[in-house]
Amino acid sequence: CYGAIFMILMNGSGKTTLMRNFKHHAEKFGLECFYIKAEKGDNEEDLVGKTFLNEKKMENVIKNNKNGMMVIIDDIDKLADCKELSEKLTRLVNSYWNKKSISFVLSSTKEIANEGNRIMRLRQFSEQDMHEMVDDAMKKGLPKMGEECIHSILNDSGGNPKLTRMICWYIYEKLKENE
């Protein structure tokens, strides 16, 4: 597994859950994997120091790794130098191409990916997605939701999957209370 993947997702769409799922699957297949949550104001040294205690530069971490690795940086757009770091990580991956199995998965809510990144965008919920979610919920014995309610929830949530689910569960909980 080689490369740099850039995930662009909206707030509340499940970026962190997806990143943690990537880590779980990478480890399941024997790849050394590191998850780093970026915080506002962090720089490269801060990110590297959170995970690799005696290192300050990502190139040293990669150079010292023997078996290949995946580094997941969640919310990279919170960094002041996110564009520069993204470009640097892409160059690092390219310099080890066919030498070591090195991958970076970077998540962001903004378009900061550069040439050489594989870009994945997760979109908002569509009306079809909403119907599928409601249909799936109905299989679990929940009450049927009308078209007007579906449209209203989709509009209120702005298509945000996490928010849409929260609104639906809130409505279902209120229905249970009033039965």
Note the pLDDT tens digit of each residue in 41-79.
888 888 788 877 666 777 777 777 777 788 888 888 888
Q: Which H, E and C letters describe 91-122, residue by residue? A: HHHHHCCCCCCEEEEEEECCCCCCCCCEEEEC
109-121: per-residue pLDDT in tens?
877 766 666 777 7
Q: What is the pLDDT of residue 142?
A: 60
Integer Cα distance of 171 and 179 in angstroms = 12
| 5, 104 contact by CB (below 8 A) | yes
